[in-house]
Amino acid sequence: MNEIYLYNRQLNKESDYNVWMGFPGPKSFALSSLGFMWLFKSLDEEPNIRVERICSDTKITEINSKDVNAICFSFSFDMDFISIFSILDKYNIPLKSKDREENYPLIFAGGPVVTANPEPYKDFFDFIIIGDGDKCNLEVIKLCRENREKSKKELLDILAAYEGVYVPNVTKKVNKCHYDLSECVYTPIISEESFFPNTFIIEVSRGCFNRCGFCVASYLNLPVRFVDYETIISNIDLGLKYTNKIALLGALISAHPRFNDICSYIYNRIQNGENIEMSVSSLRADAITPKVIKTLSV
């Protein structure tokens, strides 16, 4: 397996709660999905939880489907529901939550599609994470584990009171979970099998001030938040220990107050002889400066 773990993975740990992280696409896409991989790292670091990635092209699983306690799906694009249903069907899990009795795992989802509007999917998921999933998902799964002896109904009643969790037909009012960006989310596992091979992705901002009417990346991620410059630089340094491909991620990266300084930092390292390839998730034409062009084109 061509995967470099940037954290200390505990192998053969004693776990009493098994989670499948479902990705509605091939493994290569999962490896390039920052939010999905970050949650995988968070769960993998938990001492009592065993986690496995299940993608649409997964053939053999390490955890037997009968031993899975919970399956959380990443739901980023509308058409993902087709793959989500296919994965459930593949493991003989009923699609509708009302048809899943106690012997079936808890099935839930998070991501932009269900955050924007969970209602079309309320019959299929036991609960839905609304808002930022990076910490909320972990806390919710820990809560599920702590209450694993309870019935599904008892557990869902507990979850319904948790910020950012929507339990269909139980939750009265959902508060979207969101966090400051004091920590930087980055690629925890670098792989040449990723859709972006051997690339270290760093999230530098979340949300966008411009609020273009069609753009959910702006509205869903309000308020606009930036990772501070020092944190970004220290994480670029971390990534460059493992790869020369650095990608900056954010809805409107150029709005970062230190965007030019970040480009300068990388540009100076390139000028000093390092072979660094930098890319950005998107760039507005009005944000392009000579320094940015030079850094991206080297």
**What is the contact surface with ligand SF4 in residues (CB under 6 A)?**
208, 210-212, 215, 217-218, 251-252, 284
Could you tell me the CA-to-CA distances from 128 to 78, 260, 263, 279 in Å, in that order?
Answer: 15, 38, 38, 33
Look up residue 95 and give its DSSP letter. Answer: S
- Distance between CA 208 and CA 253 in Å, rounded? 9
To the nearest whole angstrom, how small is the minimum distance from the Cβ of residue 294 to ligand SF4?
23
Kindly tell me which of 155 and 208 has the beta carbon lying closer to ligand SF4: 208
To the nearest whole angstrom, how small is the minimum distance from the Cβ of residue 214 to ligand SF4?
7
Kindly tell me which of 148 and 284 has the beta carbon lying closer to ligand SF4: 284
- Distance between CA 50 and CA 17 in Å, rounded? 6
- Distance between CA 92 and CA 200 in Å, rounded? 36
The backbone torsions φ and ψ at residue 214, rounded to the nearest 5 degrees and listed phi first, read -95, -5
Kindly tell me which of 11 and 285 has the beta carbon lying closer to ligand SF4: 285
To the nearest whole angstrom, how small is the minimum distance from the Cβ of residue 209 to ligand SF4?
7
Kindly tell me which of 82 and 116 has the beta carbon lying closer to ligand SF4: 116
To the nearest whole angstrom, how small is the minimum distance from the Cβ of residue 196 to ligand SF4?
20
- Measured CA angle at 217 (ends 211, 220), to 5 deg: 85
Kindly tell me which of 212 and 293 has the beta carbon lying closer to ligand SF4: 212
To the nearest whole angstrom, how small is the minimum distance from the Cβ of residue 219 to ligand SF4?
8
Q: Are 97 and 124 in contact (CB under 8 A)?
A: yes
- Distance between CA 173 and CA 290 in Å, rounded? 48
